[in-house]
Chains A and B, each alone.
Chain A
Amino acid sequence: MLKLENIAKDFGGLRVLNGVSFEISEGQIFGLIGPNGAGKTTVFNIISGLLKPSSGRIIFNKSDITNQPPHVVTEQGISRTFQNIRVFEDMSLLENILVGMHRLFSYSSVSMFFDLPKKKKEEKQLREKAMDILSIVHLTEKADLKAGGLSYGEQRKLELARALATEPKLLLIDEPAAGMNPAETEELMNEIKLINKNGYTICLIEHDMKVIMGICGYVAVMNFGEIIAEGSPEEIRKEKLVIEAYLGKDEKSA
């Protein structure tokens, strides 16, 4: 479904990604792990079009999306969430979702001044759909509240829901469990599994090994801008390089 071919990225003279290649197949929950600074988020930024790779190609469903601007990548069916939360705080939860559904609206802005039945019907459908999406992350009761008032964990979930609203085929999730307590993490894992069951392919960056081992079907490990190992979670766990990268020489583990 998504294929990275030899992606490299230099910031000034510094090489942060060096020949990164991997492939995500449809229906997978793909885990991308590695110590801080390994280049995971840079990979996400390159896939989603925020950064341009210095070399290499990104193929998504047989089309080349290397160097496409973010909104085109989204149109192609890739959506993402951020490590640091970026919900629209001044908007309600429902509005946050509706913004994500931007390209699904068809009626023109002029028609808002007239109560056309077609518009009303479409608006109702979109609102219902937005509520459905909110229900996946259990936030329907708060639909009309401002997003800025949500708790940290709830904002993360809202962000996930908003990414879903763009109707992606592939969802990139950057450290969803960061800052969540164990109970919230547990709930989040179930929600991600549910999203995956609903037909979305997922690529996940995560530090929490419990999350990775619990839900990922396939894992790639990065260190110093390179993929150092990949395989099933069980295989990865035994891999010597991975243990070294994580446990290092007397450094604190992730």
Chain B
Amino acid sequence: MFLQQIANALALGSVYALFAIGFTLIFGVLEVITLAHGAVFMVGAFAGLIAVTRFNLGIIPAILTSMLASGLLGFIIDFVAVRPLRKKKYHHLAPMIATIGCATIITSISQGIFGAEAYRFPFDFVPTKSYEIGDIQLTLLQLVIIGISFSLMIMLILLLKRTKWGKAVRAVAENRRTAALLGIPVERVFQITSFTSSALGGAAGVLTGLNFNAIHTYMGGPILHRGIAVIILGGMGDIRGAMAGGLILGFSEIMSVAYISSDFRDAISFGLLFLILLIRPSGIFGKVPERKG
């Protein structure tokens, strides 16, 4: 029973991690909390759904389509709402509020198109098979979700570690002025980061839609709150932190439903986050701010 819950938690937590990893990357590089990340997630889910229902694509092409669509959306949000404020050197708050505006507009338009009802993927889109490993029963769907989200996260880490643009992104995250002086086109790095992070958010949307077999226009709100909690828990701007934080949140949610009560799910998991932050205020991987003497 306990092992079974671990499998469930891994499926849920890996999607949280995937959502949060892009969220935290944007913060680390652009120093903006994009509150439109939930809306991007929702649009990604619908893009994946349309790719499947209209164009009969399989799961991998559908996820790629969703990533392309949500990545473009992220790019546009940056271009329209964040970039002009960046040029005027308003930091943190003004761009954050601008992204709330974007989220509202995107959600309203989506509700205009799709209404408020929940959509589903076609029956047996991911065949209802399951595999038994010892006492654990893993459904094919869970394997797909865990597999895809971890592959995407590993790919992101490799991109950041190994490629020219990855190094540029890390350099800008550490110090954008120095990076600019070394010949890195910082503006382009911002655009690449917005695209990539949003693409991952969109993929998380499709996987969530599959996991709960429901896609609706207001699915961005709850995940956004969780995402914020996860990136604060993990340490703002830290990729490993977002992964760890996502998994911890997934585990605490599943375990509180399994062993306590589903009524207390959010209270327990957010209470746990609060406790961790009391012990490590800058998050699990967050740097303790140095005291300047």
Contact = CB atoms under 8 A, between A and B. Distances in A.
Given A48-B181, A109-B159, A112-B159, A102 B174 contact: no
Contacts of A112: 158-159, 162-163
A71 B170 contact: no
Interface of B: 158-159, 162-168, 170-171, 174-175, 177-186
B167 A71 contact: no
**Top 7 closest A-B pairs, CB basis?**
A74-B183, A70-B180, A105-B164, A109-B163, A86-B178, A99-B171, A88-B174
Interface stretch (A90-98, A213-221, A224-232, A246-254): A90-98
A236 to B, nearest CB: 29
Contact of B183 (A71, A90, A91, A95): A71
A86 B182 CA distance: 11
Contacts, number: 74
Given A74-B181, A88-B174, 16 more contacts: A79-B183, A80-B181, A86-B177, A90-B174, A95-B167, A98-B167, A99-B170, A99-B179, A99-B184, A102-B167, A109-B163, A109-B166, A112-B162, A162-B182, A166-B182, A166-B183
Nearest to B171: A99
B166 A74 contact: no
Contacts of A48: 181
Contact of B177 (A50, A100, A162, A163): A50
Given A102-B164, A109-B163, A112-B162, A79 B182 contact: yes
Interface in A45-100: 48-50, 69-71, 74-75, 79-80, 82, 86, 88-91, 95, 98-100
Contacts of B171: 88, 91, 99, 102
B183 A102 contact: yes
B181 A89 contact: no
A79 B162 CA distance: 25
A95 B134 CA distance: 45
A249 B128 CA distance: 88
Nearest to A82: B178
Chain B contact residues: over half helix, strand or loop, or mixed? helix
A71 B164 contact: no
Interface of A: 48-50, 69-71, 74-75, 79-80, 82, 86, 88-91, 95, 98-100, 102-103, 105, 107, 109, 112, 162-163, 165-166
B174 A74 contact: no
A50 B181 CA distance: 8
A240 B117 CA distance: 85
Contacts of B168: 99, 102
A70 B166 CA distance: 20
A79 B184 CA distance: 12
B167 A99 contact: yes
A100 to B, nearest CB: 5
A74 B180 CA distance: 8
Contacts of A102: 164, 167-168, 171, 182-184
24 contacts: A50-B181, A70-B177, A70-B181, A71-B180, A71-B181, A71-B183, A71-B185, A82-B178, A88-B171, A90-B170, A91-B167, A91-B170, A98-B167, A99-B179, A100-B183, A102-B168, A105-B164, A107-B164, A109-B164, A109-B166, A112-B162, A112-B163, A166-B182, A166-B183
Contacts of B184: 71, 99, 102
Given A98-B167, A109-B166, A103 B175 contact: no
Contacts of A70: 177, 180-181
A247 B164 CA distance: 49
B83 to A, nearest CB: 14
Contacts of B159: 109, 112
Contacts of B163: 109, 112
B168 to A, nearest CB: 6
A212 to B, nearest CB: 24
Nearest to A111: B163
B286 to A, nearest CB: 13
B239 to A, nearest CB: 11
Contact of B182 (A90, A91, A100): A100
B165 A109 contact: yes
